């Protein structure tokens, strides 16, 4: 999953770069439309970065909870084995 997120970010950055490079070649209403598109993409990109950051936080919390649960379970099993 994390590889997919990284690849999507790289692809998006490439699109942003391509759009920025194309801007000087456009004139009039085309240039205005391109500028508006770039602004929408930037807004969406910022929103996606926030959501991905939140997702990363949730994944990290789940990993910690899982590891804690595994450690607690292993301790409980050792305790039962030592008592038996």
Alpha helices in 1-84 (DSSP H): 2-22, 28-83
CA atoms of 34 and 50, how far apart (whole Å): 24
Please give the pLDDT value at position 41. 85
Please give the pLDDT value at position 26. 81
Residues ≥6 apart with Cβ < 8 Å to 1? 59
What is the distance in angstroms between the CA of the first residue and the CA of the last residue of the chain? 43
Dig out the tokens for 29 from the structure: 């209403």
Three-state DSSP class for 59?
helix
Please give the pLDDT value at position 84. 67
Residues ≥6 apart with Cβ < 8 Å to 12? 45
**Sites in the chain below the pLDDT cut of 70:** 1-2, 4-5, 84
Please give the pLDDT value at position 2. 59
pTM higher than the cut 0.75: no
Please give the pLDDT value at position 10. 74
């Amino acid at each position: 999953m994390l590889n997919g997120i990284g690849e999507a970010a790289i692809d998006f950055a490439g699109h942003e770069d391509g759009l920025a490079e194309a801007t000087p070649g456009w004139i009039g209403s085309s240039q205005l439309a391109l500028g508006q598109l770039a602004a929408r993409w930037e807004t969406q990109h910022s929103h996606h970065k926030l959501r991905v950051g939140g997702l990363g936080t949730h994944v990290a919390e789940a990993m910690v909870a899982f590891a804690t649960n595994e450690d607690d379970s292993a301790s409980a099993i050792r305790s039962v084995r030592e008592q038996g």
